[in-house]
Amino acid sequence: MSESLLDTVRERTPLVHCVTNLVATTFSANALLAVGASPAMVEDAEEAAELAAVAGALVVNTGTMSRPRAEGMHAAAGAARDAGTPWLLDPVGVGPLSLRTRVASELLGLGPTVVRGNASEILALAGHEGGGRGVDATASVEAAADAADELARTHGTVVAVSGVVDRVTDGATVHRVGGGHPLMGRVTAMGCALGAVTAAFLAVGDDVLAATLAAHAVVGATGAAAGAVARGPGSFVPAWLDELALFDGAGGADGAAAQALVDPA
Ligand SMILES: Nc1ncnc2c1ncn2[C@@H]1O[C@H](COP(=O)(O)OP(=O)(O)O)[C@@H](O)[C@H]1O
Ligand SMILES: Cc1ncsc1CCOP(=O)(O)O
Ligand SMILES: [Mg+2]
């Protein structure tokens, strides 16, 4: 599953349009390049609508909110919906901060293909007390399980909640993805990069749940491998980009390792 979709990303180099935050921009673009996709960070409303209509997939990430950026998000998400471009909402910091919480709720109404966030953000997006502090989660993945299922069912979307073990649901079926490394929580914009990589898989896979799971498994496997060689958060970043770029495809040992992270016994 994961290995063949990764091969398809590399073959097709899908254009992934990101309306993302100031912190995540370069890291997400590098993660997309490393996995084999083609990133474009475009946020002006006029340009964002043009690009979202022709991109392979779109990421809308609320991490550094401003009114002009919110306009770009609405324009991009609306154009993606109209053009049938798959798009992922990463509701960074939703809950404690008011403008982004309102905007994310409006964006949810535009029908994201996937919603991906940490547990506090998913709880808040579903209208529950998430307890988020800034952009970091204070709730556990399992504490957000009911909220994630409810969001998925109400909005017809796949919801992925990240943490020590990620949880992915379409509201009916639930999967968990292991792997990763504690250093991933000490690198900024790691979840944003996971969202960007997930969008690259959405661009080439018709099965949204399978594509989301495959992307999470690849990030889990490469994160574990990078964590095993990194000395700390600084060396984790280049190690992870290298692991992502060097990850073998169909039939390889890396692909099998990623597959084994999904719903381990
Ligand atoms: N302690 C951990 N152990 C293993 N993987 C982790 C850990 N913390 C974060 N990750 C991984 O890092 C990625 C980003 O998750 P997370 O830190 O929850 O996102 P965010 O940065 O949006 O809060 C996910 O792939 C997740 O599985
Ligand atoms: C630190 C910070 N501040 C605003 S956005 C951002 C990055 C958040 O990235 P992630 O959600 O991937 O940890
Ligand atoms: Mg995040």
What are the boundaries of each domain within the chain?
A: 2-260
Indicate the helix (H) or strand (E) that contains 204. Answer: helix 190-204
Distance CA 251, CA 180 (A): 21
Q: Which of 190, 244, 262 to mutate to test the pocket of ligand 1 (most atoms within 8 A of CB)?
A: 190
- pLDDT grade for 1, boundaries at 50, 70 and 90: very low
For atom 17 of ligand 1, the residue with the nearest CA is 185
Q: Is the CB of 24 under 6 A from ligand 2?
A: yes
CB count in 10 Å sphere of residue 134: 10
Q: How far is CA 24 from the centre of its chain?
A: 12
The whole-number pLDDT of residue 257 equals 87
Q: Is the CB of 21 under 6 A from ligand 2?
A: yes
DSSP annotation of 262 reads B
The reply to whether ipTM tops 0.95 is yes
Mean pLDDT over 205-214 rounds to 97
Structure-token pair, residue 192: 């944003």
Q: Write out pLDDT tens, residues 37-58.
A: 999 999 999 999 999 999 999 9
CATH no. of 2-260: 3.40.1190.20
Question: Which comes out higher in pLDDT, residue 133 or 113?
Answer: 113
For atom 13 of ligand 1, the residue with the nearest CA is 191
What percent of the chain has pLDDT above 90? 90
Mean pLDDT over 20-42 rounds to 98
For atom 8 of ligand 2, the residue with the nearest CA is 189
Q: How far is CA 78 from CA 47, 111, 122, 177, 206, in A?
A: 13, 9, 22, 31, 20
Contact 32, 200 (CB under 8 A): yes
